[in-house]
């Protein structure tokens, strides 16, 4: 992660719960010069430390469902993206860390517990995927606020 971000710093972190169940601890790592206004052109990493066990195919499907909240895209693209995520995401157990590294203009690299899993060379996929947490259209605005808080405040007039 450090090689993609230089000297990364934690921007924000929060625990995500769903219907009272703790799902994961999310942490956003950014380069020192990170700016919200240039997010699509910036390298950053979103680290999810899982607090319970999940099947990779369920993570992929839930990700696709959330991506549809963030952006409109064709059913054909949805199927392509779902397959990419199903191939990339393994089953996780409590304590495992899935990390997505935004590669500006290129796509995303996925890691499991610091080890490379897969790389998706699709900048639009990366934008929409990270939008699950970072877009103003997220289904979890409190989590977004916790992850982006310092730069959200700085970007307000």
Q: Residue 27 sits in a domain of what CATH number?
A: 3.50.70.10
Instruction: Give domain status of residue 78, yes or no.
Output: yes
Q: 79 lies in a domain?
A: yes
Question: How many residues appear in the chain?
Answer: 157
Please indicate, yes or no, if residue 157 is contained in any of the structural domains.
no
Assigned domain for 20 exists: yes
Question: What sign does the CA torsion over 18, 23, 24, 25 have?
Answer: positive
> Is the pLDDT at 2 greater than 60, yes or no?
no
Position 155 in a domain: no
Higher-confidence position of 83 and 20: 83
Tens-place pLDDT, residues 48-101: 999 999 999 999 999 999 999 999 999 999 999 999 999 999 999 999 999 999
The range of the structural domain enclosing residue 105 comes to 2-149
Q: What is the mean pLDDT of residues 20-39?
A: 89
What pLDDT does 6 receive?
72
Q: Is residue 156 part of a domain?
A: no
Q: Please check whether residue 87 lies inside any domain of the structure.
A: yes
In SS3 terms, the chain reads as CHHHHCCCEEEEEEEEEECCEEEEEEEEEECCCCCHHHHHHCCEEEEEEECCCECHHHHHHHHHHHHHHHCCCCHHHHHHHHHHHHHHCCCECCCCEEEEEEECCCEEEEEECCEEEEEECCHHHHHHHHHHHHCCCCCCHHHHHHHHHHHHHHHCC
Number of Cβ within a 10 Å radius of residue 146: 20
Number of domains present in the structure of the chain: 1
Instruction: Give pLDDT tens digits for 128-157.
Output: 999 999 999 999 999 999 999 866 655 544
The residue among 64, 55, 45, 62 whose CA lies nearest residue 116 is 45
In a domain, 7, yes or no: yes
């Amino acid at each position: 992660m450090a090689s993609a971000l230089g000297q990364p710093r934690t921007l924000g972190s929060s625990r995500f719960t769903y219907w009272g169940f703790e799902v994961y601890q999310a942490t956003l790592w950014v380069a020192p010069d990170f700016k919200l206004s240039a997010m699509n052109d910036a390298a950053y990493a979103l680290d999810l430390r899982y607090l319970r066990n999940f099947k990779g195919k369920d993570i992929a499907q839930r990700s696709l469902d959330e991506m549809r909240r963030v952006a409109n895209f064709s059913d054909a693209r949805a199927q392509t993206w779902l397959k990419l995520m199903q191939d990339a995401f393994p089953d996780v157990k409590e304590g495992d860390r899935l990390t997505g590294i935004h590669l500006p203009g290129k796509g995303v690299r996925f890691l499991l517990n610091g080890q490379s899993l897969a790389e998706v060379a699709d900048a639009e996929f990366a934008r929409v995927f990270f939008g699950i947490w970072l877009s103003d259209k997220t289904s979890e605005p409190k989590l977004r606020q916790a992850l982006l808080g310092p730069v959200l405040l700085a970007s307000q007039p």
